[in-house]
Amino acid sequence: MQNVTESSGISKNFGTTKALNDISFSVNESEIFGFIGPDGAGKTTLFRIITTLMLPDEGEIKVFGMNCTTDYKELRKNIGYMPGRFSLYQDLTVEENLNFYATVFGTTVEENYELISDIYSHIEPFKKRAAGKLSGGMKQKLALSCALIHKPKLLVLDEPTTGVDAVSRSEFWDMLGKLRQHNITIIVSTPYMDEAMRCDKVALIQDGKILAIDAPQKIRDGFSRKLFTVKSVEKYKLLNTLRKYPMTLTAYPFGDSAHVTFINDMVDNSLFDYLIKEGISDAVVQAAEAGIEDRFLELMNKTE
């Protein structure tokens, strides 16, 4: 498989802030590669470097074998970039924006229409509307269409699903899955941990450092303890009670249950005795498979 992006030892500082600290990764052709991490982790800075819009202080990065620092003119023809903030012309119509981006890259909408038809067909009925007057979901589809109109080989999407509701997020990931058929490699960032499972490979990123890089399932497998879910109607009381239990290592709220690890990696009757003594008699305990977020929490605690 061909290597699309290869980076080694990328660092970038803004004043005294280390935005990126020794970032190395490689992305293969037709892969969906996700950078998962909170705001301020360095995702946007990294994406600006990948898309040749910013230079790293240290390290080297190559895209399609070309150097991001010196070969940027050629590289930009091959990269489609959708920034986190909506950056199209608000006072141009949907159609005008799309034509504009096609023209800038020396192509036409007709030539590459097939690539965007799936996405663009949703907003085509409103092609005479100013881009600034579209809903969030429609803006997102237009921005994606504009990023794709020159048929790039690499698509870089900075937090395309942030602030988007669960249904639209799921639909967006379905669209990305379809783009894979056109041999487009996708680098995408998200703060939503659950979206990691939609990627072929993910890098967990926090404070400018990569905590882990692997296939999402392998990252889950990397969880080092036995994980249990504990459920009770009194969620907050349960959590505080579990934390006082001497054998508890970690206890975090996760949806309708608490995710708990124990020093001896097992559950016995003394836990139930303890919970009943503390007034929680309805606790249900089950062994569970760790998710991406469990692993992220574990890695965060290790680095702190």
Partner 1 sequence: MKNQVITVKNLVKNFGSFVANDNLNFEVFRGEIFGFLGANGAGKTTTIRILSGLSKPTSGEVKVAGFDAYRQTEQIKKNIGYMCQKFSLYEDLTVKENIILYGGIYGISKSLIKERIAKLLANLRFQEYENRIIADLPLGLRQKLAFSVAVLHEPKIVFLDEPTGGVDPITRRQFWEMIYETASRGITVFVTTHYMDEAEYCDRISIMNEGKIVALDTPENLKKQYNAATIEDVFIKIARPVSLHPHPPAPFSQERRG
Per CB under 8 A, residues contacting partner 1 are 37-41, 122, 125-126, 129, 133-138, 162-171, 191-194, 206, 235-236, 239, 252-256, 293, 296-297, 300-301
The CB-of-149 to partner 1 minimum distance in angstroms stands at 21
Q: Which helix (H) or strand (E) holds 9?
A: strand 3-14
Exposure b/e, 52-61, CB count within 10 A at least 16 = b: beeebeebeb
Q: Which is nearer to partner 1, 75 or 258 (CB)?
A: 258
The CB-of-126 to partner 1 minimum distance in angstroms stands at 6
The CB-of-23 to partner 1 minimum distance in angstroms stands at 18
Task: Round to whole Å and give the CA distance between 84 and 79.
Answer: 16
The CB-of-234 to partner 1 minimum distance in angstroms stands at 10
Q: Which is nearer to partner 1, 39 or 57 (CB)?
A: 39
Q: Which is nearer to partner 1, 55 or 249 (CB)?
A: 249
Task: Round to whole Å and give the CA distance between 89 and 140.
Answer: 13
Structure token digits, residue 221: 């497998």
The CB-of-97 to partner 1 minimum distance in angstroms stands at 16
The CB-of-41 to partner 1 minimum distance in angstroms stands at 8
Strand residues in 91-200 grouped as ranges (E): 154-157, 185-190
Q: Over the Cα atoms of the chain, what is R_g?
A: 23
CA distances from 78 to 51, 147, 190 (A): 10, 11, 23
Task: Round to whole Å and give the CA distance between 71 and 13.
Answer: 23
CA distances from 270 to 190, 235, 248, 281, 285 (A): 41, 20, 12, 13, 13
Q: Which is nearer to partner 1, 75 or 292 (CB)?
A: 292
The CB-of-196 to partner 1 minimum distance in angstroms stands at 12
Task: Round to whole Å and give the CA distance between 112 and 90.
Answer: 23
Q: Which is nearer to partner 1, 247 or 300 (CB)?
A: 300
Task: Round to whole Å and give the CA distance between 88 and 53.
Answer: 17
How would you class 28 by CB atoms within 10 Å of its CB: exposed for 0-12, middle for 13-18, buried for 19 or more? middle
Closest-CA residue to 140 (of 113, 180, 100, 168): 168
Q: Which is nearer to partner 1, 179 or 297 (CB)?
A: 297
How would you list the strands of the sheet with 3-14, edge to edge? Answer: 17-28, 3-14, 58-63, 66-67
What is the pairing mode between strands 32-36 and 201-206? parallel
The CB-of-239 to partner 1 minimum distance in angstroms stands at 7
Q: Which is nearer to partner 1, 31 or 293 (CB)?
A: 293
Q: Which is nearer to partner 1, 164 or 288 (CB)?
A: 164
